Structure 1
Amino acid sequence: MRDVAILLILFGLVALAWWRPWVGVLGLAFLAGTHPQAYASGFMKTFPVYLTLFAVVAVAAARDYRRARAWPRLPVDWSLILILLLWGQFALSTSQAINPWAAWPKLWEVAKLLPSLVLVLLLIDSRERLLALNLTMALAVAVVVFKGGYWAVMTGFQDRVYGPPGSQYGDNNEFAVATAMAIPLLVLWYRETQARALRLALAGMIALSFAAALSSWSRGGLLSLGVVALLLVWHSRRKWLALPLLAVGIGLMFVNLPEAWFARMGALGGGELDASAQSRLDVWRLGWAHALERPWFGGGFQGWIYLSQRTGGLVDWHSAYVEMAAEHGLMGLALWSALLLGNMGALTWLVWRGGRLRLTWLENHAAMLRASLAAYLVGAAFLGIAYWQMVYLLMASVILLRGFAARATSFTPSNPAAREA
């Protein structure tokens, strides 16, 4: 039955994509977030759902460009240049990989992110479509969060909450960070809608998201969640109301959390390290040492398979920063860091610019994208999530937002078009 339902969803998305290719881009974002084939048990388990929809979107977009007799144009942006340079570094490090049998397949897997980003940059050509894209990313995670958050509340936070099996955030730790990243996008949706019923539903969804993230029992997720909470209060128009409401809500959740949860989280500030924290320190030292030995290219994708044998064969670098440095050298880390921090800086400027010109839509969008990226930056310190599709979709959103902001701010502040919210 699940397989039939997934097939019907795919048919619906394919039809929409053929009719409006940009809607197909939203479908791709939804599939990337929900990973529906993970819940299949029959023929749809191994069916290339994402690839099928991608092919339809690409063909439909090419058809529309041909009919319009127009060449597709990518935005000229420094972030896009950095992304291409970073992928070039990936190719170079793979050519020098210490275990090429694992590095080359991983390179092709990561390279598949680029065509999706190209479709986003080509077909999302208005701020209304950009809003729809970011709300779709929020909805995709929210579909999974709803089940996890409800289960967390009903069981008194006794069990850990996980993401879709086989997805990029299937593990409890990755799921917590993905949920923290989705919360600001849900808040953006809340601010942009005027429908009372939808606002109430979104408020409940945001509360469930906090519950699901806490019930993941993830220390890195807890830190990401804390950063998001602080930024949401900071960007609230009614801080005097937002702060006590947030404190009461989180307080109610903490009252119901079991003692084992507090014991696990206590390791964040404790003097003694548990086995998990100690193993992370060991692999971090190993990764940084290897990055210093091979600063230009690192060990290539999946370098931990060979290097971590000295520490018992850990299956991850447990930090995206160490992952980038160890697998792609200090050059790869520099490009990746410049991409993320540069976009954080650009969003900060857009928040200020939107507030100054009273462009509410720009200020809201930039502030929530910044909060989402901040959650990723914190979570990435403890998880090997350097190649997440969600974060690159967010950076594509930043590229587009800068372009739309440039058009809007070309008007004078006295012009009503510049003040449109």
Structure 2
Amino acid sequence: MRDIAVLIFLLACIGAALYRAWYGVLALAIFSYMNPHAYAWGFVRSFPAYQTLFFTVVFSTLITKDRQPIPKDWRIPVFILLWLYFIFTTTQAYLPDLAWQKLWFVTKIYLPFFFTLVLINTREKLLALIAAIGVSIGFIAAKGGLFAIATGFSYRVWGPPGTQFEGNNELAIAILMAIPLLILWYRETDNPWIKRGIIAAIPLMFASVVSSWSRGAFLTMGVLALLVIWHSKKKFLVVPIVIVAAIVGAHFLPDEWFARMETIKTYEEDASAMSRIITWRDGWHHTLEHPFTGAGFEGWRIVTWRDWHSSYVEMFSEHGFIAFGLWMSLILGTLISLTRLPKKVKSVPGMEWVANYCYMLRASLIAYMVGTAFLGLSYWDLLYHLIFISVLVKKFALEELAQKQAATPDKSRHAPRIRSFVRTRQDKPDGLQPS
């Protein structure tokens, strides 16, 4: 029965993508993050659902007229250059077979983002994409939150199999990145049922994060909570709710959970934490010796004895400092753009939406930066989705700003010309004055 339900949903997504190409972008996001076919039991579980959707969107994109040129934004050529640099480092990788396989895996992650840039050509479509991502992760998180509460947080919550956040640590960071997206949707929608659903889902999402037993997620959750409070318009209401939730939640957590979180302060005595530090040190020293090529994809198998467990270390250790610089420029440049853009339109009536988008996307990106300092997720599709969504936010904001400025005459621009004309008439000799 579950197989049939998933198959019907897949066929509906394919039909929607053929009907409207941009619906395919939403469908790809749903199958990438929710991975609904992973919950089936029969043949649908191994069916190449994502690949089928991908080629459907390719076809639909080629025949549709409802598309836009790729935006002129510096992040897009940098992104392409980063991918080309991956090809170069793969030719120099220590483990060529594994490296080429990983390059193809990363390429399959990167290619669909160009559909996002081309087909998401209005702010309404962009909000729908953000909602699709938030709901896809939020559905998994809410289900995990219910399980966590029902079991007294005694068991870890895991992600859907076959995704990049299958592990408990990865799932927790994905949930924390999705929470600001749902808050953004809450602020931008007028539908009361959607608002109620989001209000009900977010506490369950936090419960799911707590029950991941992830120390990195615990730190990230603290940072995200501060960011959400900072950007809240009702701090007097949010702060007491957060404090009460923390006190009540702590009462139900098992002693083993607190014991695990306390190892953050005594990381020198924790074998897992110290092994990560050793791995990071090995990656750093190796990159100093091979600054342009690194070790290639999966190079940790040669350089050290365990996975990198840090996106930053993973990027420079596998591809060198040039690739790391390109990658970091995408992240930091997007943070700067999301910070500056609201200031540029702050005094423009009707453009309050820009601050909502920018601040919540920035909170999600910061959650990634904090959380993946302890997880090797530098090729994660959610990161690049945030970057390209930010590209589109900037594009739509600047276009709307230009339209508003064009519709509002700039009187000061004509003032000097008028004053000059009056002065010329006054300065004429009396004999030339009209009678």
Range of TM-score over shorter length: over 0.9
- Offset of residue 411 of structure 1: 4.4
- Secondary structure at 2:186 match in 1: helix
User: What is the CA-CA distance between 1:392 and the residue it aligns to?
Assistant: 0.7
Amino acid at match of 1:203: I
- Supply the distance in 1 between the matched residues of 2:52 and 2:146 (Cα, whole angstroms): 32
CA distance in 1, matches of 2:138, 2:390: 21
Which is further off, 348-357 or 98-107? 348-357
Instruction: Write the distance in 1 (CA, Å) between the matches of 2:124 and 2:140.
Output: 25
Alignment CA distance shift 1:59-1:241 (3 Å): same
Counterpart for residue 34 of structure 2:
34
Deviation at 1:283, TM superposition (A): 0.8
Match for residue 419 of structure 1? Answer: none
Equivalent residue, structure 2, for 1:51: 51
Q: Relative to 1, partners in 2 of residues 1:271 and 1:122: Cα closer, same or farther, differing over 3 Å? A: closer
**Hey, what does 2:4 align to over in structure 1?**
4
Please tell me whether the aligned partners of residues 357 and 413 of structure 1 are also in contact (alpha carbons under 8 angstroms): no
Partner of 1:194: 190
Alignment of structure 1 residues 272-421 onto 2, 5 Å: 272-308=268-304, 313-314=305-306, 316-358=307-349, 359-412=351-404
Q: Does 1:82 align with 2:78?
A: yes
Tell me the amino acid that sits aligned with residue 398 of structure 2.
A
User: What is the SS of the residue equivalent to 2:64?
Assistant: helix
Shift of 1:2: 2.1
Question: Alpha-carbon deviations, 1:235-270, whole Å to 9, x = none?
Answer: 111212211112212222222111111111112223
**CA–CA distance in structure 2, aligned partners of residues 136 and 325 of structure 1:** 32
- Per-residue deviation at 1:271? 5.8
Is the CA contact (8 Å cut-off) linking 2:78 and 2:326 kept in structure 1? yes
**Normalization by structure 2: what TM-score?**
0.90
Deviation at 1:354, TM superposition (A): 4.2
Residue 51 of structure 2 aligns with an amino acid whose one-letter code is: L
Letter in 1 for 2:370: V
Matches within 5 A, 1:111-130: 111-130=107-126
Q: Output the CA distance in 1 between the equivalents of 2:223 and 2:173.
A: 11
Q: Which runs of 5+ in 1 are unaligned?
A: 417-421
2:415 is matched with none
d(CA) in 2 for partners of 1:126, 1:412: 17
Partners of 1:401 and 1:332 lie apart in 2 by: 26
Distance 1:160 1:232, change over 3 A: same
CA RMSD, aligned part only? 1.7
Does the residue aligned with 2:369 lie in a helix, a strand or coil? helix
From 87, 91, 110, the counterpart of 2:87 = 91
Deviation per CA, 1:313-359: give whole Å up to 9, x if none.
32x21000000011000111111111101101100112333434352
Answer yes or no: is the 8 Å Cα contact 2:282–2:303 preserved in 1: yes
Q: How far apart, in 1, do the equivalents of 2:133 and 2:344 lie? A: 25
* CA–CA distance in structure 2, aligned partners of residues 163 and 12 of structure 1: 24
Matches within 5 A, 1:214-233: 214-233=210-229
1:352 is aligned with what amino acid?
K
Runs of 4+ in 1 over 6 A off after TM superposition: 413-416
The answer to whether the 8 Å contact 1:134/1:185 transfers is yes
Determine which of 126, 138, 145 is the counterpart of 1:149.
145
122-131 vs 239-248, greater mean Cα deviation? 239-248
Aligned partners of 2:192 and 2:115: how far apart in 1? 34
Gaps of 5+ in 2: 409-435
Q: What SS class does the counterpart of residue 163 from structure 1 fall into?
A: coil
Q: Is the 8 A contact 2:267 2:273 kept in 1?
A: no
2:260 is aligned to 264
Q: Would the alpha carbon gap of residues 355 and 225 (structure 1) be closer, same or farther in structure 2, given more than 3 Å must change? A: farther
Q: 2:244 aligned with 1:248, yes or no?
A: yes
Select between 346-355 and 369-378 the one with higher mean Cα deviation: 346-355
SS of the counterpart of 1:375? Answer: helix
CA distance in 1, matches of 2:186, 2:122: 20
Q: In percent, how many aligned pairs have the same letter? A: 43
Amino acid at match of 1:5: A
Return the alpha-carbon distance in structure 2 between the equivalents of residues 330 and 115 of structure 1: 24
Letter in 1 for 2:13: L
**What amino acid sits opposite 2:142 in the alignment?**
F
Q: What is aligned with 2:423? A: none
Cα distance, 1:190 vs. partner? 1.2
Q: Does residue 168 of structure 2 align to residue 172 of structure 1? A: yes
With over 3 angstroms needed to count, the CA separation of the structure-2 counterparts of 1:276 and 1:119, relative to structure 1, is same
The alignment partner of 2:268 has SS state of coil
Cα distance in structure 1, aligned partners of 2:41 and 2:404: 58
Q: Deviations over 1:42-87 (max 9, x none)?
A: 211221101101111110111114xx8x9x6211111101101111
Distance 2:355 2:216 in 1: 28
Q: Deviation at 1:413?
A: 7.4
1:266-286 CA-to-partner distances (Å, cap 9, x unmatched) read 122236331110111111111
Structure 1 stretch 326-335 or stretch 56-65: which is displaced more? 56-65
Q: Secondary structure at the match of 2:373?
A: coil
Q: Is the 8 A contact 2:24 2:53 kept in 1?
A: yes
CA contact (8 A) 1:353 1:363 kept: no
> Is the 8 Å Cα contact of residues 22 and 119 (structure 2) preserved in structure 1?
yes
Query: Aligned partners of 2:179, 2:406: CA distance in 1, in Å?
Result: 34
* Residues 149-158 or 177-186, more deviating: 149-158
Find the residue that maps to 1:30 and give its secondary structure: helix
Q: Within 2, Cα distance between the matches of 1:290 and 1:96?
A: 14
Instruction: Measure, in 2, the Cα distance between the counterparts of 1:273 and 1:234.
Output: 35
